[in-house]
Structure 1
Amino acid sequence: MATEHFSTRYQDLDTWPSLDILSAFYEGQLSAVAAVRSSLPAIAAAAEEATLRLRRGGRLVYAGAGTSGRIGVQDGTELPPTFNWPDDKLVYLIAGGEGAIMKAVENAEDSVEEGIAGVRQHGIGPDDVVIGVAASGRTPFTIAALREAKARGAQTIGISNNPDAPILEACSHPILADTGEEVIAGSTRMKAGTAQKVILNLLSSLIMVRMGRVYRGLMVNMRATNAKLRRRSEVMVSQITGCDDAKAAEAIRQADGDLKSAVLIALGASPSQAQDALAKSGGNLREALADFMKTA
């Protein structure tokens, strides 16, 4: 596996000056990001299908072990505050259980049985989207989870940093970022991990855009859970509608904090009209605005 290879270029790394070591690490990070470029079409295809399933009420499921599993958890946990993605529409299948997120659990990644059991326990089905992440592409737990999910009709996305890896055969949407050998041999928390995070950022963000949770590049579905975000909500309503800050704040109050409804209210809709327009558009603000402006 390329991610496990030892590079003679770095065999005396520990004797180098600190700045030279950091330069090598930095170059590795840049090459990791560059490795994602060729996978953009695969990411786009995976996101398009995922959107169709999630619109039917499906869940996003992240499966992985060790570093890969933790990166998946990080991506998933950022979706509710950023896009107001429902917490009950997120599932984490982590080798070794929740405790493995904070502390390594020995041999957990080798358990095929645990991978299968997790999928069955959560009743993964045809509307669900399962994302398996494994730098080696050979992690038994993750591959087993993907195969079981695929057999149950779910969409399966496999992310690997090694070509010709089993995980790419076990899923319906293979995504490869061939990051090659690590500066510190086998330390896939570095180049491989960076590429995985980039892929997940791209994939989940595109899904959220396609789900109508972004409008004009703005996070119109975000949860305003503190003063900074409440102020950001007011700025966004003002920016979209052209109203002043006071009117934006009042619209948000009438909308009980829902930014999309507040936009429509600021443009003259009643709270019930705003809710009806958004319900009709499936929560898509652009479509709701177009329909409302036709009748306004």
Structure 2
Amino acid sequence: MEWVKKTGVIASMILISGAIGHNIADKKAEVKEVKKERYFPAKIDFAGEKAPLNISDVHERLDRELLVNANLDATTVLIIKRANRAFPVIEPILKKYGIPDDFKYLAVIESGLVNVVSPAGARGVWQFMPDTGKERGLEINDIVDERYHLAKSTEAACKYLQSAYAKFGSWTLAAASYNGGFGGVNKQITFQGVTNYYDLLLTDETARYVFRILALKEIMQHPVSYNFTVLPTELYPVIPVKTVDVTASIPDLAVFAKEQGINYKVLKIHNPWLRDRKLTVADGKKYTMEIPLSGY
């Protein structure tokens, strides 16, 4: 009986040992799978200016933003879908003004490529405050707000970025100043005695800003590496439109929309810069509206 008991104990120990062995093997397999999922780029740049990933602080800050955005599943998928419609508008304007193509990702982190309103009052895809928008040539009032006009607000952003690059001589610092302001970034450059974004100690938001841009650029350029698979048929399509020049006031935009073969909702979707139910047009002024040809 004693021998039987010992044999049973040994058998139990073998089973437990085997189970532990299997668990260890499973854990190793899980670790390998995690490592496979958590892809990290060997190198990355913003507008041709390399990020020094050999510096641990820089590596970890990029890692943080990659992990955050790679795990915002629905939000990131929506951004990828919207980009198919928004980037064809943004890209040629950036090129026209000599602004690097990477700045389209700045618009991504500012708004997710939709016309949002910040708690501070910034509006549109490029998130202009009223005074800054007016300084860059946007019309902003109760009737018309061109911060909601993707093409015109992109042009305004380009004008700002041209000025920022002329001041700092760095596209990375120009991007940082879009968040921290000319004065805020320049003050820290003067105080700290360094002229490289990656060497500066900035406010938490501005310190994260370029890394957020880099993370979205990386994920959107290599979505499969970060477990995002969006089929071409799932991307939001560019909707063909015709343009209508308006040189006289329109007292009722709902009536105008029906005259164009659409409804008020569709008119406002395609012309979100229209902020009232009417459009007042001053002498010599012209507005151009987009009227969709299909998709509704």
When normalised by structure 1's length, the TM-score is 0.24
The structure with the largest alpha-carbon Rg is: 2
